[in-house]
Amino acid sequence: MLTIKSFKPSTNTILYSPIPTSLMFEPINLCNAKCFSCPYTEYSTDKTFTSQKMSVEQITQLIDNWGSLLRKYDIKPWSVAVLPWRYSDPLVNPHLETVLQLADKHKIMVSLTTNAISFGKRQCDLLQKYIHTVDKKIFVSVIGFTEQEVWDQMKVRRQKTFQSLEFVRDNYPELSMMLDIAVKNKNNKPAPDSTLEEYKKRTLSKKAKSKTNWMYNRAGTGDGHWTRPVGWKSSPTSFVNGCGLTPGKILNRLDIMVSGRAALCCDMPFDRNFPIEQTNYGNVFEIGIEGVWANLTKEHQLIYDQEFSENKLKLICNNCDRAGIKFADQKKPFQGWNIGKTINRQNKYKNRYFKHKIIQ
């Protein structure tokens, strides 16, 4: 039987998942774009960086490990998803077929977000073959409204994106029906209707929408241009006590770098940004998913602890705009997150995945 440890912030309880119910990993340090807002862009011309990738054996070890844990904890087939990308585009992964085969083997859904540039015959043939593993929608992300803006902000040609979308529409109608396009801009303004129509007419799904207020500082110091560096300092009266990402996200998703190192969240990008001497939750290829998840759970408990401790001064969250912060001001004690939403999300996960288990 499974015991789920609980932690009580005041009168409430946050549940900690015994295993991750979502797996996000970087199969290769390579992308076909250079988005102004992506930490990948800084290293995109360094071949010692872009040549790093997981082997077929490593990807197999990782997903087989997770698949065995899902069975161990009686997780319902097809109820969880693997995200085979972090800052890469999933369609440039040379081992995409391996990912899809393993997802099929373990009855795991595959969640994809792409810039659409690499929708070629090989990729589409694979996605069509394993379409039953693809998680409802294939998300497409575009930064910039005009041809020039897309080039300036992504270093890709909008016309090429159009051609790729048309290729899918004309040759793979089932895949085209799954496309869901988000169009955004560094100025955070909504896309003109005429721009959205250009994308809608190139898909069978007809789904294209604006995305605003999407830019945040990543864990680190920021670049001072597209977001502001964090100015707040942790102290005994004002400290991290939660997370402003999607409620409960870090409590359920396991992020893995290309090296196999576990990351706290999707905003902790590469080994270069976070040397192992600074932050180390372990490597899945050395101690397995259960090992790194146990280390991360200790970090989660420290983050969500509603009382101050000296260890909170060492959290990498102290440099992140998405950190949840507790203030001494009782009129507004929390900033950046909602404790109620986090508790509710975790209760839903408990009922969905662990309702037959003992809660302690």
Of 170, 193, 215, the residue that ends a domain is: 215
Let me know whether 251 and 205 are in one domain.
no
Predicted confidence at residue 358, as pLDDT, reads 45
Predicted confidence at residue 76, as pLDDT, reads 94
Of 198, 215, 232, the residue that ends a domain is: 215
Predicted confidence at residue 51, as pLDDT, reads 96
Domains: count for the chain:
2
Let me know whether 50 and 163 are in one domain.
yes
Let me know whether 146 and 103 are in one domain.
yes
Let me know whether 158 and 292 are in one domain.
no
- Look at residue 233 and tell me if it is in a domain: yes
Let me know whether 150 and 186 are in one domain.
yes
Of 191, 215, 239, the residue that ends a domain is: 215
- Look at residue 15 and tell me if it is in a domain: no
Predicted confidence at residue 1, as pLDDT, reads 28
- Look at residue 2 and tell me if it is in a domain: no
Let me know whether 180 and 97 are in one domain.
yes
Predicted confidence at residue 97, as pLDDT, reads 98
- Look at residue 16 and tell me if it is in a domain: no
Let me know whether 89 and 192 are in one domain.
yes
Let me know whether 41 and 187 are in one domain.
yes
Let me know whether 157 and 28 are in one domain.
yes
Let me know whether 139 and 246 are in one domain.
no
Range of the domain at 52: 23-215
Tokens 């340090």 found at: 29
Q: pLDDT tens digit string along 189-244?
A: 999 999 999 999 999 999 999 999 887 656 655 555 555 556 788 999 899 999 98
Let me know whether 246 and 182 are in one domain.
no
- Look at residue 8 and tell me if it is in a domain: no
- Look at residue 14 and tell me if it is in a domain: no
Predicted confidence at residue 225, as pLDDT, reads 52
- Look at residue 5 and tell me if it is in a domain: no
Going by C-beta distance under 8 Å and a sequence separation of 6 or more, which residues neighbour residue 47?
none
- Look at residue 146 and tell me if it is in a domain: yes
Let me know whether 125 and 112 are in one domain.
yes
Q: pLDDT tens digit string along 78-111?
A: 999 999 999 999 999 999 999 999 999 999 999 9
Identify the segments of the chain with pLDDT beneath 50. Answer: 1-11, 358-360
Predicted confidence at residue 226, as pLDDT, reads 52
Predicted confidence at residue 291, as pLDDT, reads 98
Predicted confidence at residue 8, as pLDDT, reads 44
Predicted confidence at residue 319, as pLDDT, reads 82
Predicted confidence at residue 340, as pLDDT, reads 87
What is the pTM (predicted TM-score) of this model? 0.91
User: Residue 159 belongs to a domain with what CATH number?
Assistant: 3.20.20.70
